[in-house]
Structure 1
């Protein structure tokens, strides 16, 4: 029986890490697009959601919960180094909490929310904030670790995505405090959540080397070198 070498183990681990990063990236990029479009198609009513979390009370509930569960499980299974393992476990756990604890139902769905629904809503919001904060740490610190340097373009993407996530968190909080409901059918919560989710999805997709790998497979060596 052949003995598996350390190199083979390392290669398999690296491949698994790439695939997990791609999984998080694809789901993150897809959710802000799929949820509002899917709900508009199924409900035959063109319009945006009040928030991504509000999808729980729409036709896209199963997609929303399933997407969050997928992200949570992937992050819990993600293993790369000690620091990333810790933060991915934190983000994964709270992503599952967000999925399992729905936001407080809007008045259009439930006129008077119960105490349980209100408590679950607080847990949902708190867990969502912790998820976004954890993913911002990935973009701003862990993905930009000098010990594992990526190319300058990728470094700028991570930095930009991390800043965007933080700005979205601050924007949601500030607009909530001043009771700004948005305009043109776009609420600050929906815009902030959608942009933040898209940003962290983009960062994880870039970190997975998927762009460089696709470019190399297509013979675009210049593009591959740019995204190394």
Structure 2
């Protein structure tokens, strides 16, 4: 009988491959479509279900309307897409964090309108504070995607349009940051203006729309005209 070596070679860790480019683009497209359409759908949907033109105090206030399922479902869908999204390790971690924030925003409702609940309970107040924290975290991560990650492209297919795309990402990122500042200032200073559309709703809608446009551009669903001075393909 021959002696068999009982030594077992250690199993080396295998790095999971990135998603194929088509899957990455589809996930980006899904996030972009939902993000860019959600402010419009909520506005139109609330007006249709109420049989009159309705402007809520915030997008999150849709939780207390007939559009609650649309609002919660859309945020959960965005969250799932972001968690499933995998491009590189850095984007994977941050997109997962953003996805968790999106789902938590959907599950922790904002404070109910004073017309429905003049004196909210302690639990409702706590949930409302957590909602604001999760929403701030979500917008912060999405702004970072626009200002840093999307502009730091390593994909040679995107180099031709890099200058135009980077301009779009920069604008969308700073729009999100500016909207966060406006929302925070309006909440702290209790600023009000003589206009049906509140600063909170406007800031949220503009932020969501801006990040949706950025993800649509990144998905190459929106074709931009390359700059005349854009560099051509790299040569060896």
**Number of aligned residues:** 208
Q: Quick check: which has more Rg, 1 or 2?
A: 2
Q: Report the equivalent of 1:86.
A: 93
Q: Report the equivalent of 1:66.
A: 73
Say if 2:59 is the partner of 1:52: yes
Q: Report the equivalent of 2:176.
A: 165
1:108 Cα deviation from its structure 2 partner: 0.7
Q: Deviation digits for residues 31-75 of structure 1, max 9, x if unmatched?
A: 110001110011012121110000001111000000000000000
Q: Indicate conservation of the 8 Å contact 1:47/1:185, yes or no.
A: no
Q: Report the equivalent of 1:27.
A: 34
1:225 Cα deviation from its structure 2 partner: 4.8
Q: Report the equivalent of 1:218.
A: none
Alignment gaps of 5+ in structure 1? 1-8, 213-222
1:224 Cα deviation from its structure 2 partner: 6.0
Q: Report the equivalent of 1:187.
A: 198
1:146 Cα deviation from its structure 2 partner: 4.8
TM-score by length of 2: 0.84
TM-score by length of 1: 0.87
Q: Report the equivalent of 2:214.
A: 203
Alignment gaps of 5+ in structure 2? 1-16, 231-236
Separation of aligned partners in 2, 1:159 and 1:200: 11
Q: Deviation digits for residues 135-172 of structure 1, max 9, x if unmatched?
A: 00000000000534452111100000000000000011
Q: Indicate conservation of the 8 Å contact 2:28/2:219, yes or no.
A: yes
Q: Name the Cα RMSD after superposition.
A: 1.7
Say if 2:51 is the partner of 1:40: no
Separation of aligned partners in 1, 2:193 and 2:92: 38
1:121-140 maps to which residues of 2 (within 5 A)?
121-140=128-147
Separation of aligned partners in 2, 1:97 and 1:85: 18
